[in-house]
Structure 1
Amino acid sequence: MDIYRRYGPALLRKATRLLGNRDDALDVVQGLFTDLYARSALDVELPYLYRALTNRCLTMIRDRNTHTRLLERETPALRGVVRTRCDEQALGQDLLLKLMDRLDEGTLEVLVYRYWDDLDQTEIASVMGVSRKTVVRRMATLRSELVALGAMSAEAARRDAAQDAEEPPHA
């Protein structure tokens, strides 16, 4: 129970930001801790929990999209209701869904850590267990896709890349 008291509130805030829905966030966090308790894996650190939670949230968003598409296709009368529910989170999640179709899991994780959680490259590398150089490469791929989708201007991408190049590695 100590691990939940220690990390649960921060993970719930992160899941709520990502999913845009507190009930879904509670389900994801509860599922994560239930699995940890079932495996008696209670000695994990925050970076592991952070990554596991991010992956669960991305899966839930992907599942929501599939469910919404099936509802719209199978029940035309429900289209307005489904669309209204989705419009609450449309901008962020619509873009995220498009990126999910175009990017690998590692680059999607970088997206979440950088733009939702506001982590710097060194923090992202630490959470993901990869080198800072890998994060820089994935950020470049991400920026290219954002520009291609019209979600980021080429100028903003250049500024972001320049800022990333200047970001000093932490000791």
Structure 2
Amino acid sequence: MSIKDLFQEYYSPLCNYATKIVNNNDIAEDIVQGLFIQLWENDKVTTIDKPERFLLRSTKFKCIDYLRKQTTQKEVAVDSFSDFGTVETADMDEQDIEPLLLFFASKLPLKTREVFLLSRKSGLTYREIAEEQGVSIKTVENQMGKALKEMRSLLKTHDFFALLVLLKIF
């Protein structure tokens, strides 16, 4: 996969992921852009076996590095950032889950993603989602079915079984 392909596919989801960690869109974009520049300068793209996992971990660590540098302004407990790929279900908390949820949800088609996030993140019922979206409840059910199937597939593929359990989408 070329650097251009990686950038086009992962830039926006990685920016969303980084924003959840550093709480600033501009800084998150700078971090992700820096990551891609570093990959391009070092010509590391051809050596990456699992680009999605590599990019997620690299983005997380670059965000942690940024937060460490900000310790003069505010102390940050870096230990609170667990290694998402290897944690057990009991070790994950909402702080760990939300950025990953948004990252993987960003891979869903737009309408499916909207329905999924309204249900899982906002806690709306299918009826409330149908009213808000101006569609039938059956349409919402179908979109959620697609979303859950795709999310299960994505999370299993990337070894995030703990998220499957915590999100109750297995």
TM-score range, shorter chain: 0.3 to 0.5
RCO higher in structure (CA 8 A, sep ≥6): 2
* TM-score when normalising by structure 1: 0.47
More helix by share: 1
